[in-house]
RNA sequence: CGGGGUGUGGCGCAAUGGUUAGCGCGCUGGCAUGGGGUGCCAGAGGUUGCGGGUUCGAGUCCCGCCACCCCGACCA
């Protein structure tokens, strides 16, 4: 809908990602292999997010087991019901049937909170905030690389707090970290907000999210941060003795950010030449392409090597001296989405002014090497902002404030996108809208101000405009 | 699980029931080229998804199975 050249976004995506050496399919359905170039991207995101999690949220990293005894998963009813359709279960191991089945974790609330119940005894033990980087397995009906893998990588953070306010503070700190990663590092705009009752995490009081518009008009849930209230602490018996000697249950939260974010990067920024990777997390921030002429090849090589050594200290750089034509390499690096390129040939040999190229604008520019190195931080900041602006523009241009249901249906049929509409917050209206238009509530934006309105579906009184879209 | 589709070198495809299953991309070796997917030469690479059946003869026809893909319900 939005970009002519990406009419078939799914084909474009699968084709480009495989050509760009991001991933390969795994042998089991719904699994993928992260190839070095794809995995490096995740490692770089991890680097920044991990720092945020430790410094801004105050969490410590841990690692819990992959297997969860079935009895633990059963302790919280809503959680169990939410996840049981998509869990993988080990029933046979070591040559015989297991006495108790083992769940391959779809998320780790239960196994972590079982430990919390033993670790937390006193108000002095609070808050307890931990985080783990791990894989989880969810048997999705229809897998799609990065956006819905059977197995995916993420971090999941878990906080146990003295009271609800303290827990909520962490809920919003986590959400804020995710928004900062998406906006300041990945250049991806979205709507931060609260999930509806039916869309929230199984077992949570409230779920907060960052909803991203994909150029085909559908919405991607970019992360989640849950206010768990005391829904888990009560069944798991996570209680502490307070100063006044009374026993109290902790207030909890959990929050996660996954490799789905890579899918968002590819889909939101990519163009007809291929990927456009945000420079702060791109595996290579710059690639040097030597352009040989058959006469001065050794001098060009030497010159490239000097520049390479100099850039290497501050920039993730790759020197591409493969035996391919320059045109081939240009296209290859455009496809792989490397943010900057430096072209070194006869013209540059005895010259201080070098030829650079930036992927987002597809423009060449001339600059002295030292100046480039000195202004690199600013350049990647500006590059990221440019991506964010584009993404924001796309999102705003495809956000429609609608007041009658026919218009709503028409937009969903013709172009999709985000639809902002009053909703009475009755589940039945939400369900009917989904059945009739495929759109579900994505979130109630945090910036929402309550006012008088009428539900887009039933016409009854409504106080807030929700964001609707077709979910990815 | 429902609806549709496809299985042939690594990938994309071709092959009226009839010799030794072809082509493009990619890969290997070589020569030239080199500022936006360059050209030529020489190579390597196959139990046609699996199992039956029909036939003088099956990639091709029939039956069964399996796998994967697309569309829906589920979903970070």
The 3-class SS string of chain A reads CCCHHHCCHHHHHHHHHHHCCCEEECCCCCCEEECHHHHHHHHHHHHHHHHHHHHHHCCEECCCCCEEEHHHHCCCHHHHHHHHHHCEEEEEECCEEEEEEEEECCCCHHHHHHHHHHHCCEHHHCCEEEEEEEEEECCCCCCECCCECCEEEEEEEEEEECCHHHHHHHHHHHHHHHHHHHHHHCCCCCEEEECCCCCCCCCCCEEEEEEEECCCCEEEEEEEEEEEECCCHHHHCCEEECCCCCEEECEEEEEEEECHHHHHHHHHHCECCECCCCCCCCCCCEEEEECCCCCCHHHHHHHHHHHHHHHHCCCCEEECCCCCCHHHHHHHHHHHCCCEEEEECHHHHCCCEEEEEECCCCEEEEEEHHHHHHCHHHHHHHHHHHHHHHHHHHHHHCEEECCCHHHHHHHHHHCCCEEEEEECCCHHHHHHHHHHHCCEEEEEECCCCCCCEECCCCCCEECEEEEEEEEC
* Banded pLDDT at A5 (limits 50, 70, 90): very low
B39 nearest neighbour residue (CA to C1'): A325
The whole-number pLDDT of residue A266 equals 95
- Lowest average pLDDT, out of A146-150, A165-169, A393-397, goes to A146-150
Q: What is the mean pLDDT of residues A393-418?
A: 93
pLDDT at residue A362 tops 50: yes
Q: Does A12 contact strand B, using a CB cutoff of 7 Å?
A: no
pLDDT at residue A94 tops 90: no
In whole angstroms, B52 C1' to A137 CA is 38
The whole-number pLDDT of residue A1 equals 40
Chain A residues 124-153, Cβ below 7 A from strand B: 138, 140-144, 146-149, 152
B67 nearest neighbour residue (CA to C1'): A29
Top pLDDT among A386 and A139 is at A386
Q: What is the mean pLDDT of residues A361-374?
A: 97
pLDDT at residue A419 tops 90: yes
CA of A25: nucleotide with nearest C1': B68
Chain A residues 203-262, Cβ below 7 A from strand B: 209, 221-224, 256, 258-260
Q: Does A109 contact strand B, using a CB cutoff of 7 Å?
A: no
Q: Does A346 contact strand B, using a CB cutoff of 7 Å?
A: yes
Q: Are strands A247-249 and A239-241 parallel, antiparallel or unpaired?
A: antiparallel
Strand B: positions under 7 A of a protein C-beta atom:
1, 33-38, 67-76
- Lowest average pLDDT, out of A1-5, A48-52, A74-78, goes to A1-5
Q: Does A273 contact strand B, using a CB cutoff of 7 Å?
A: yes
The whole-number pLDDT of residue A294 equals 87
The whole-number pLDDT of residue A3 equals 47
CA of A260: nucleotide with nearest C1': B76
CA of A223: nucleotide with nearest C1': B76
In whole angstroms, B47 C1' to A25 CA is 25
Q: Kindly provide the ipTM of the predicted complex, given to two decimals.
A: 0.89
Q: Does A327 contact strand B, using a CB cutoff of 7 Å?
A: yes
CA of A201: nucleotide with nearest C1': B76
Q: What is the mean pLDDT of residues A91-109?
A: 91
- pLDDT tens, residue by residue, A260-271: 999 999 999 999
- pLDDT tens, residue by residue, A215-251: 989 999 999 999 999 999 999 999 999 999 999 999 9
In whole angstroms, B54 C1' to A141 CA is 40
* Banded pLDDT at A414 (limits 50, 70, 90): confident
The whole-number pLDDT of residue A6 equals 53
């Amino acid at each position: 809908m939005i970009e002519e050249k990406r009419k078939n976004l799914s084909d474009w995506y699968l084709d480009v990602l495989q050509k760009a050496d991001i991933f390969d399919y795994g042998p089991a359905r719904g699994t993928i292999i992260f190839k070095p170039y794809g995995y490096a991207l995740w490692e770089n995101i991890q680097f920044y997010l991990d720092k945020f999690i430790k410094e801004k949220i105050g969490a410590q990293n841990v690692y819990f087991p992959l297997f969860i005894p079935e009895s633990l998963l059963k302790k919280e009813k809503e959680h169990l019901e939410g996840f049981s359709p998509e869990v993988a279960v080990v029933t046979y191991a070591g040559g015989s049937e297991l006495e108790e089945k083992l769940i391959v974790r779809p998320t780790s609330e239960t196994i972590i909170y079982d430990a919390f119940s033993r670790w937390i005894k006193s108000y002095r033990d609070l808050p307890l905030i931990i985080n783990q980087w791990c894989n989880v397995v969810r048997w999705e009906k229809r897998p799609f690389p990065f956006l819905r893998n059977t197995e995916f990588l993420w971090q999941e953070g878990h906080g146990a707090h003295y009271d609800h306010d303290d827990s909520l503070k962490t809920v919003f700190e986590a959400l804020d970290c995710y928004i900062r990663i998406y906006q300041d590092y990945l250049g991806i705009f979205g709507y931060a907000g609260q999930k509806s009752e039916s869309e929230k995490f199984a077992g949570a009081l409230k779920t907060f999210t960052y909803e991203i518009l994909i150029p085909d008009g559908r919405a991607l849930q970019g992360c989640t941060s849950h206010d768990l209230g005391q829904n888990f602490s009560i069944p798991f018996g996570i209680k502490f003795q307070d100063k006044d000697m009374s026993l109290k249950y902790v207030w909890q939260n959990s929050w996660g950010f996954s490799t789905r974010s890579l899918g968002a990067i590819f889909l939101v920024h990519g163009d007809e030449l291929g990927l456009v990777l945000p420079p702060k997390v791109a595996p290579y921030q710059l690639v040097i392409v030597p352009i040989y002429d058959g006469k001065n090849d050794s001098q060009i090589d030497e010159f490239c090597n000097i520049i390479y050594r100099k850039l290497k200290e501050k920039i993730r750089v790759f020197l591409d001296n493969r035996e391919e034509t320059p045109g081939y390499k240009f296209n290859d690096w455009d496809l792989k989405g490397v943010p900057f390129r430096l072209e070194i040939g006869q013209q540059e040999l005895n010259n201080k002014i070098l030829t650079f190229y930036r992927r987002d604008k597809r423009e060449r520019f001339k600059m002295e090497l030292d100046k480039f190195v000195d202004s690199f931080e600013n350049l990647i900041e500006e590059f990221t902002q440019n991506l964010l602006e584009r993404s924001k523009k796309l999102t705003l241009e495809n956000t429609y404030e609608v007041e009658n249901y026919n218009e709503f249906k028409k937009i969903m049929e013709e172009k999709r996108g985000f639809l902002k509409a009053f909703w009475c917050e009755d589940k039945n209206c939400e369900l009917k809208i989904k059945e009739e238009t495929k759109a579900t509530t994505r979130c109630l934006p945090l910036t929402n101000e309550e006012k008088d309105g009428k539900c887009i579906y039933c016409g009854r009184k409504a106080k807030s405009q929700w964001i609707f879209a077709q979910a990815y």
